[in-house]
Structure 1
Amino acid sequence: MAQKSFSRLKWLFYLYYDGFKNMKTGKTLWLIIGIKLFVLLVIIKWLFFPNFLETRFTNDEDRGAYILDALTPPKEK
Structure 2
Amino acid sequence: MNIIGIYRFYADGFKSMTTGRILWLIILLKLFVMFFIIKLFFFPSFLKDKTTEEKQDYVGNELIIRASDSYEK
CA distance in 1, matches of 2:11, 2:60: 47
- Cα distance in 2 for partners of 1:48, 1:14 equals 41
Q: Please report the RMSD computed on the Cα atoms of aligned residues, expressed in angstroms.
A: 1.7
Q: Which has the larger radius of gyration?
A: 1
Aligned to 2:5: 11
TM-score (norm 2): 0.77
Alignment of 1:1-77 (within 5 A): 8-54=2-48, 58-72=50-64
Distance (Å, rounded) in 2 between the aligned partners of 1:11 and 1:45: 38
Give the TM-score, by structure 1 length: 0.73
Query: Which runs of 5 or more residues in structure 1 are unaligned?
Result: 1-6
Count of residue pairs the alignment pairs up: 66
